């Protein structure tokens, strides 16, 4: 992580899972993921986020594959948005995990 910004009352960035999660700050380049993705559209930023952290947040093969599937999901959304085409029907059912709880998401429910 390059020159982490600290704010009054903030803990050491190396021990701060809220502001500097290790799965976003441990890239060998030393670049923090948000330094790149904050300049992108929402879907592209999320795709990069999931590619960036694949294998870092959940080091199991299943966790890495899940992150990569999420990246593909966001890339498909961006392609559909840019081309104003229907979302691909490759994998219309995706599981999104929030705070350890998985939620099924049907891509068709998200399309316009």
What pLDDT, in 10s, does the model give residues 45-67?
Answer: 999 999 988 888 888 889 899 99
Cα radius of gyration rounded to whole Å, the chain: 16
Phi then psi dihedrals of residue 104, to 5 deg: -75, 135
What pLDDT, in 10s, does the model give residues 67-101?
Answer: 999 999 999 999 888 887 776 555 555 666 655 66
Q: What is the pTM of this model?
A: 0.59
Single out the residue of 38, 101, 109 nearest to residue 73, CA to CA.
109
Both tokens of 94, joined, read 């995706």
| The pLDDT value given to residue 112 | 43
Residues 5, 17: contact at Cβ < 8 Å? Answer: no
- The structural domains of the chain, with segments of one domain joined by +, span 16-110
């Amino acid at each position: 992580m390059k020159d982490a910004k600290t704010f009054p009352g903030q803990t050491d960035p190396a021990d701060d899972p809220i502001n500097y999660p290790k799965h976003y700050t441990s890239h060998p380049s030393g670049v923090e993921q948000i330094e790149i993705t904050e300049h992108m559209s929402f879907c592209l930023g999320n795709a990069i986020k999931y590619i960036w952290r694949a294998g870092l947040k959940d080091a199991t093969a299943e966790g890495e594959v899940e992150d990569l599937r999420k990246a593909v999901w966001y890339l498909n959304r961006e392609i559909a948005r840019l081309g104003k085409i229907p979302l691909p029907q490759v994998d219309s059912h995706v599981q999104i995990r929030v705070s350890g709880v998985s939620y099924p998401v049907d891509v068709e429910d998200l399309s316009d």
